[in-house]
């Protein structure tokens, strides 16, 4: 890259082409997010400064981030943040990067309990806290708990709750699923985006997921449903009568998850919801009244 008149527009065009050659599936977006981060501005504002020359110090920082992105490191980890449900969330390699598909879990949870006077909600395997915080922001009448087996993940989640003014309404609990006396319930709603990748699927995941995101938050075991199996049994004991269990999982385990929910004593399965791509995504059950 020549050091001669590297404007914002020229830098973005060159970088997007280079990242595309390196295998990025969203090279232009990656370039824009990284440059906006370095310049300390919103991404949309780059379009108003296309002809501005990027200072040497910014270009040096940008070049280092682009190299790391080309090596596979997720953009969200590079900039330390990812938007979810129109809110910025701090992320680190201790947590999964929040995905747009998971927003459907939040939307469904809101729909189910928005009319309740004082719903009690628990987010199992909270990671960055995105689900719990988004629900707390949209449901001011709710009290929540958020669990994770990882102390490092809970630190990230606590920080995000504080950032968005919801920390006082979310109790964070270090626990394996619901295995803590503090999580006895009864709960109006249990939501979870648990590990659901089969061990034999892991090698086929995208490089930025496989090499950088926490494996324990992705892989459940040989069948992909080992965690969901345990969660369903624990949820059946802790939901209030008529309470809901919502689980996000992928299409490769859809039939197995539906069979688990149908076969768990105390739970009555509800129809599976599809994502915007038409794939089974949100699996539902209710506590038998």
CATH level 3 topology of 93-287: Rossmann fold (3.40.50)
Q: What ranges do the domains of the chain cover? A: 8-71, 93-287
CA–CA distance, 97 with 79 (Å, rounded to integer): 12
Contact assessment for residue 110 and residue 85, using Cβ atoms and an 8 Å cutoff: no
Dihedral through CA 150, CA 153, CA 155, CA 160, nearest 10? Answer: -150
Tell me, what's the pLDDT at 1? 44
HSE-up of residue 188 (Cα within 13 Å, Cβ side):
19
Between CA 94 and CA 231 the distance in angstroms is: 22
pLDDT in tens, 165-208: 999 999 999 999 999 999 998 999 999 999 999 999 999 999 89
* 232-257 pLDDT tens trace: 999 999 999 999 999 999 999 999 99
Other beta carbons within 10 Å of 67: 12
According to DSSP, the residues that pair with 267 across neighbouring strands are: 287
The predicted-structure confidence for 219-234, as pLDDT tens digits, reads as follows 999 999 999 999 999 9
Verify cis geometry, omega within 30 degrees of 0, for the bond prior to 144.
no
Architecture of domain 8-71 in this structure = Orthogonal Bundle (1.10)
Model-level pTM? 0.91
The residue-averaged pLDDT of 143-172 equals 97
């Amino acid at each position: 890259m020549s050091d001669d008149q590297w404007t914002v527009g020229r830098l973005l065009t060159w970088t997007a082409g280079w990242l595309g050659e390196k295998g990025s599936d969203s090279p232009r977006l990656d370039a824009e997010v990284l440059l906006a981060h370095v310049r300390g501005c919103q991404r949309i504002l780059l379009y108003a400064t296309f002809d501005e020359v990027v200072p040497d110090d910014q270009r040096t920082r940008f070049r280092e981030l682009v190299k790391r992105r080309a090596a596979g490191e997720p953009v969200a980890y590079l900039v330390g943040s990812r938007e979810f449900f129109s809110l910025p969330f701090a992320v680190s390699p201790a947590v999964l990067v929040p995905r747009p598909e998971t927003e459907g879990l939040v939307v469904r949870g809101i729909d189910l309990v928005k009319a309740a006077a004082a719903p009690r909600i628990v987010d199992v395997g909270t990671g960055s806290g995105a689900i719990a915080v988004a629900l707390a922001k949209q449901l001011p009448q709710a009290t929540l708990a958020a669990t994770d087996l990882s102390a490092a993940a809970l630190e990230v989640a606590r920080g995000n709750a504080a950032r968005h003014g919801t920390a006082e309404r979310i109790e964070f609990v270090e626990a394996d699923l619901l295995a803590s006396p503090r999580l006895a319930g009864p709960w109006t709603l249990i939501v979870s985006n648990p590990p659901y990748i089969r061990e034999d699927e892991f090698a086929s995941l995208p490089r930025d997921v496989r090499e950088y995101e926490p494996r324990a938050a992705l892989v459940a075991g040989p069948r992909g449903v080992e965690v969901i199996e345990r969660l369903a049994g624990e949820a059946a004991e802790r939901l209030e009568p008529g309470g809901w269990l919502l689980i996000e999982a992928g299409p490769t385990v859809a039939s197995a998850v539906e069979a688990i929910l149908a076969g768990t004593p105390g739970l009555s399965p509800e129809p599976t919801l599809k994502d915007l791509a038409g794939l089974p995504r949100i699996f539902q059950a209710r506590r038998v009244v």
